[in-house]
Amino acid sequence: MSPLQVFARKKREQTPLAMIALSDAPAAQIACEAGIDAILVGDSLGNTALGFDSTIPVTMDDIAHHLQAVLRGVKASSRPEVPLIADMPFGSYATPEVGVQNAVRLMQLGAHGVKIEGTQSIDDSTGRVFELCQLAGIPVMGHIGFTPQSELQFENVVQGRTASDAGKLLEQAFTLQKAGCFALVLEAMTTQVAHQITAFLSVPTVGIGAGKNCSGQVLVWHDLVGITAKPFKMAHAFASTRQIWMDAIQSYCHEVESAQFPASENGWEMAPDAAQEWAEQRTRKERQKNEN
């Protein structure tokens, strides 16, 4: 049974699904132990783990590297069956053939499915990546609304403010469902539009900045645990760990400077007889040196 079935099951049961985007092994292990439904190795790792100011510089190698780390964290947890979706980064599906090759690579590394932003790859002349992925048996998650890889093409972050924009989003959602997507991320769109898309589609929607009427929600680890310095409106910090990390590092600096750390319990002592023997050896060597 595919671990991705949790998406359809939760939609059927009308229980909201909780997904998290993260990029390292300890975070993955913690998220699984905490009961997360699904993990996305998103290209937001460009902004979080890698410190870029957009997702454009993220490469296939970056996603592959972090996917493997996250996979190790999931496997080390008590819930190794948690589904793992890998993002297809900017440029990785510029042509359908390249797209399917890259999707195959992520699946072979252990992803259960891949996520592709936008509908360009269906609409324009390059379009067919969804079809090729279907043929190759690769589950694809769609992503519409604000799609960060094409941020330069958007006038505003929030989508679906006008009736015509709302109509286009609904059309895109249907197109992606028809193309075989097993779920859709709805990012930064008005709650009414996200609600209608969720009601009309048979596949589940996962919202971020799209209101509570989606089939599930997704947040980025750094936002959720409060590491992000400047919080985003569409995210919510469920803890403020930035200050906790800061306090811990300040205490460490202080204890190193004041020679309180490391304490005796952080190290190992030689047994007294070995220490004695070594001291005698040193004395003998010193004496021989003076005699020569």
The tokens for 194 are 């996200």
The answer to whether 176 contacts ligand KIV (rule: CB under 6 A) is no
Of residues 82, 111, 193, 208, which one binds ligand KIV by CB under 6 A? 208
Catalytic residue (choose from 13, 97, 171, 187): 187
Residue count of the chain: 292
The residue range among 38-46, 120-128, 232-240, 273-281 that interacts with ligand KIV, by the rule CB under 6 A, is 38-46
User: Could you give the angle at the alpha carbon of 170 between the alpha carbons of 164 and 172, nearest 5°?
Assistant: 105
Choose between 74 and 220: whose C-beta lies nearer to ligand KIV.
Answer: 220
Of residues 114 and 218, the one with the C-beta less far from ligand KIV: 218
Please report whether residue 223 would count as binding ligand KIV according to CB under 6 A.
no
67 near ligand KIV (CB under 6 A) = no
Binding residues for ligand KIV restricted to 10-29, rule: CB under 6 A: 21
Q: Which of 40, 166, 189, 225 binds ligand KIV (CB under 6 A)?
A: 40
The nearest distance, CB 186 to ligand KIV, in angstroms, is 9
Tell which positions 116-135 bind ligand KIV, by CB under 6 A.
Answer: none
Q: Which stretch binds ligand KIV (CB under 6 A): 42-50, 131-139, 193-201, 242-250?
A: 42-50
Q: Report in angstroms how near the CB of residue 108 gets to ligand KIV at its nearest.
A: 21
* Site for ligand KIV contains 205 (CB under 6 A): no
Q: Known catalytic residue: 187?
A: yes
Give the range of 36-44, 96-104, 229-237, 279-287 binding ligand KIV by CB under 6 A: 36-44
Single out the segment in contact with ligand KIV by CB under 6 A; choices: 35-43, 106-114, 130-138, 262-270: 35-43
Q: What's the per-residue H, E or C state across the chain?
A: CCCCHHHHHHHHHCCCEEEEECCCHHHHHHHHHHCCCEEEECHHHHCCCCCCCCCCCCCHHHHHHHHHHHHHHHHHCCCCCCCEEEECCCCCCCCHHHHHHHHHHHHHHCCCEEEEECCHHHHCCCCCHHHHHHHCCCCEEEEEECCHHHHHHCCCCCECCCHHHHHHHHHHHHHHHHCCCCEEEEECECHHHHHHHHHHCCCCEEEECCCCCCCEEEEEHHHHCCCCCCCCCCCCCCCCHHHHHHHHHHHHHHHHHCCCCCCHHHCCCCCHHHHHHHHHHHHHHHHHHHHC
Catalytic residues: 187
The footprint of ligand KIV (CB under 6 A) covers: 21, 40, 42-44, 87, 185, 187, 208, 218, 220
